[in-house]
Amino acid sequence: MKSHALFRACCLAGLMHAAVAEPTVANPPAPSLAAALDAAWQRAPDFAHTQGQRQRALAEQAVAGRPWAAPPSLELSQRSDRWHRNQGARETELSVGLPLWHWGQRQAQRAAAQGLMALAEAEQAAARLELAGQLREQAWTLLSLQAAWRVAQAQAQGLEALAADVARRVQAGDLAETDRLAARAESLAARTQAAQALQTLSQARQQWRLLTGLAQEPHLSPEPATPAAAIDAHPVLRRAEAQLAQARLQRELEQRSGREASELRLGWRQEQSAWGAEREGALQIGLRIPLEAERRNGVKLVEAETALAVAELTLARLREQLQAEQQLAAEALANAQAQADSSATQAALLRERLALLERAFRAGELALPELLRARASAAEAEAGQLQSDAALGLARARLNQSLGVLP
C-alpha cells in the first residue's frame, strides 16, 4: 500500500510539472496558489468594496474628531430705513452658529467609526477566504482535466501505434483485414476523445485566466492537513461578529442622535440711529434648543434595530453551519482517501494485466478485440487514478477551506 501511495505521489508530481512545461517556449514559473490569490484579489469586486468601507470608516472617524456636531453656519443680516424714511438708521448683525454634540453622541460616533473599520477588516478576511475557495475549486478541477487530457492523449498515441502494428501484421498475413479496420476505428475514436478533452481543458484554462488574470496554471501540491482550529477564529464567523458589534454601535448612535443638535450662537450687532449719530455695538451670545416632541430619525432607529436582530440571528445560525461544514469536509476527505487507494490498486492490477495480454497478443495467443478491451480498461483505470488523486487534493483543500485556512 505504501508503494502504491508513493507511485501516486510521483504521478501527481510529474503531472503538475508537465502541466507547466507543456509549451516548447520558456514560460515564467508557475504561481503558487497563494500568489494566485493575491492576483485574483486585486481583480475582485470585494477588493473595491472593502477599500470603500475603509474610506468610509476614516471619514466617520474624522466626523467624530470634529469639535462640533455639524458644520458651523454663518449668518449676516442688515436693516436700514433707506426705502421709507431715509434718516440714516442702520443695523448690522453677524453671527456664527455652532451645533453642539448631545450627551454621549460624540463617543458613540467615534465607537461606530472604529466598529466600521473593524468590520472592513473582517469582511476583507472573509472575502479573501471565499475567493480562495473559488481558486481551490478551479485549480484542482484544472489539474483533473489536465490528467484526463494527458491520459486520453497517451491512449490515442498507444492505439495509433497498435493500429500501425496491426496493419503490418495484416500485410504479413498474420491477422485478418477486420482486425486492421477495428484497430484503425479505435485509434480514430481515441483521437476524437483526446480532442474533446483538450477543448474542455482550454475552457477551464480560460476561466482561470478570467479569475486571476494569470496566463500560467498554478503550481499545486497537496495541502498539508491543518489541525482543527477554534471555530471562533473562522473569518466568516468573525465577520458575523463584527457585523453584530457594528449593528449595536449603530443603534447606540441613533439613540444618542435622536433630536436635532442644539446650537450655540455667537454674534456681533452694530446700530446707528441716524446720519452722523454714533455707532453702538454689542456682543451677542445665544443658545438654540429644538423642542420637537418626536424623534427626527425614527426610521433610522428602526432600521438599526432591525439590522441588529438580523445580525444576532445570523451569528447564532452561522456557528452551527460552520461546524456542520467542517464535519462534512472531514468525512469527504476520508472517502476521497479510500477512493484514491482503491483507484491506485485497480490501476496497478490492470497495468499488470495489460502487459501480460500484450505479450500474448505479440505471440499470437490473443485476439485483437480482447486486447483493445484490456487497453481501454487500463486507460480508464489510469485516468480514474489521476482524477482520484486530484479529488483527494481538492478534498484536503476543502477541509482547510471549511476550517478558514488560506492557501
Q: What is the pLDDT of residue 297?
A: 62
Mean pLDDT, to the nearest integer, of 337-350? 91
- What pTM does this model have? 0.74
pLDDT over threshold 60, residue 370: yes
- Does residue 385 contact residue 8 with C-beta atoms inside 8 Å? yes
As a whole number of angstroms, the distance between CA 155 and CA 328 comes to 36
Contacts 24+ apart (CB under 8 A), 368-376: 368/166, 368/175, 368/179, 368/182, 368/183, 369/182, 371/162, 372/159, 372/162, 372/182, 372/183, 372/186, 374/350, 375/155, 375/158, 375/159, 375/162, 376/155
**How far apart (Å, rounded) are the C-alpha atoms in residues 52 and 118?**
13
**pLDDT band at 238; cut points 50, 70, 90:** very high
Q: Tell me, rounded to whole angstroms, the distance of Cα 82 from its chain centroid.
A: 72
Least confident of 117-131, 165-179, 285-299, 388-402: 285-299
User: Residue 228: which pLDDT band, with cuts at 50, 70 and 90?
Assistant: low
pLDDT band at 188 (very low <50, low <70, confident <90, very high): very high
**How many CA within 13 A on the CB side of residue 327?**
6
Q: Could you confirm whether domain 2-9+30-61+103-255+295-402 is CATH 3.40.50.1100?
A: no
Confidence at residue 38, expressed as pLDDT on a 0 to 100 scale: 92
Torsion sign over Cα 110, 116, 120, 122: positive
Please tell me which residue, 399 or 5, carries the higher pLDDT value.
399
Three-state secondary-structure class, residue 87: coil
> Residue 342 is placed in which grid cell?
482503491
The gap from C-alpha 171 to its chain's centroid, in whole angstroms, comes to 61
Enumerate the domain spans of the chain: 2-9+30-61+103-255+295-402, 66-100+259-291
Give mean pLDDT, residues 278-282.
77
Which one-letter amino acid corresponds to residue 31? Answer: P
User: Cβ(164)–Cβ(187) under 8 Å?
Assistant: no
Residue 15 banded pLDDT, cuts 50, 70, 90? very low
Q: What are phi and psi of 274, to 5 degrees?
A: -160, 175
Put the strands of the sheet holding 73-80 in their side by side order: 73-80, 90-99, 263-272, 280-288
Nearest alpha-carbon partner for 242 in 107, 114, 118? 118
